[in-house]
Amino acid sequence: MKNILLFIILLSGGIIISAQVPEAFNYQAIVRDESKNPITDQSVSFKMSILKGSITGSEEYVETHITSTNSLGLVNLVIGNGTDKTGTISAIDWGADSYFLKVEIDPAGEEDYTEMGTTQLLSVPYAMHSKTTEVYEEIQTIADAAALGNIVNAQLKNVTYPTDEQDAATKAYVDELKEIIYDELLDAGMNGVVKDVDGNSYKTIKIGNQIWMAENLKTTHYANGDAIPDGTGAGDISGETDPKYWFAYVDDLNNVTTYGRLYTWYTVIDSRNVCPDGWHVPTDTEWTTLTDYLGGTSVAGGKLKETGTTHWTTPNTGATNETGFTALPGGYRSNNGAFLCIGIYGGWWSATEYDATYAWSRNLSYGNSYVGRDYNYKEIGFSVRCLRD
C-alpha cells in the first residue's frame, strides 16, 4: 500500500513570464512519509489541477511534473511549465471566480497518483508580490549551504517576508517552511545559530525534542530593544526587585565572551523577554525534560559540561559534552555583591518561581556529574540559557 504523504504547501507569487495574466507561478512543498520523515533525493511525480468555483469544481487547467526532492525533501515546481497539459493557464480569468489548486503525487515518480488535498488560491498569482520569490530563494540558499555541511545562517528564522499585498495564509506557509528546514538541519546534526537583539550570535543544539542555545546569554537589551539596567559595580542588593541588573563576572567584560553575563531572576521573567524573539528562558519543567532525556540528574551533568580543564577546575568529573550543550562554570553573583565560584560552578535560572523570595535554578559542579536543582534568591546573578519556543 502506498504511504500517505504529508505536505507543507507553499505558493509564491513569482511571475515567470511578464504579462497582464500570469503564465506561470511557483510552488514549493516538503514531501514527507507517513512517519513525517522527509522523502529525500528521490524522483517524484505531481499532477496539478486548477479548479474553478469549489474544491469539486471544473478543471480549468491540468499539468504533470516529474522532479526530484532535495536533501531536505523539498521540491520546487513552476505551475504553468508542466507537461501533458489540459487547458491553458493564460486563459483563466482569475477575477471572475474563486480558484483552487488540487495536488496529486506519486512518490515513485510514475503516474499512480494519490490525491493530497485541494487548497484555495486566496491571492491570485499575479496579485502576489514578486519579492516572495526572493524570500524562497534566500531560504533555499541557506538550506543548500547547510546541506553541504556549513553552519545554518544565523538569520534563517528571521528571513523577512514582504508584508505588503500579501495574504496571511501564504505568510504562514513561508514561516512553517523556515521552521521545517531549521528542524531538519538540527535533526541531521548540524548546529544552528541564533542572534540576539545586540547582534551576538549563539550556536544552538537539538537535544531530544528541545532546541537549546549552546552558549550562555550575553545580551544587554530585551528583545524589544529596551536596555536591561546595568548593575555592574553595584554592592549589596539583598531584597531588591528593581532594577533588573546584568553583570559580568567580577565586573570584567573580558569574561563575557566566554561565560556570558549574569542576570537576576527579575530580568528572566520580564515580559520584554531577555531571550531573542522565538526563544525563552526554560521553565523548571523544561529543565527536567532535559535531564530526564539524558538519563536523570545523576549523569546528565557530565553530558552537558564542556570537557577538559580549560574552563572547569580539575578534575571536571564525568564531563563528556556528548550533547554539545557545552556548559561552562561562569560562577554567580551573590546578593551581597560578591562574585563567586568561576571555574568551579555554573548556575542557570529557570523561569519558575519557588515562592515570593526564591526561584528554581539548575547548577553544575567541577567535582561530579550531577545536575543540581535548587531554589535561590531572585536578586542574585546566574547565567541564562535560552530554549526555542
Closest CA to 379 of 363, 354, 347, 357: 357
pLDDT at 225: 93
φ, ψ of residue 17 in degrees (nearest 5): -120, 125
- The domains of the chain are located at 6-187, 201-388
Q: Nearest-5° angle of CA 178, CA 179, CA 182? A: 85
Q: How far apart are CA 196 and CA 307, in angstroms?
A: 26
Please report which confidence band the pLDDT of residue 168 belongs to, taking 50, 70 and 90 as the band edges. Answer: low
pLDDT at 142: 54
Question: 348-386 pLDDT, tens per residue?
Answer: 999 999 999 999 999 999 999 999 999 999 999 999 999
**Residue ranges in the chain assigned as alpha helix (H):** 131-147, 168-187, 256-259, 265-268, 284-293, 297-304
- Average per-residue pLDDT in the chain? 80
Amino acid identity for residue 116 in this structure: M
Question: 281-320 pLDDT, tens per residue?
Answer: 999 999 999 999 999 999 999 999 999 999 999 999 999 9
Question: 113-161 pLDDT, tens per residue?
Answer: 988 888 887 654 433 334 444 555 555 555 554 443 333 443 444 445 4
Length of the chain: 389
pLDDT at 33: 78
- Nearest 10 degrees: CA dihedral of 175, 180, 181, 184? 160
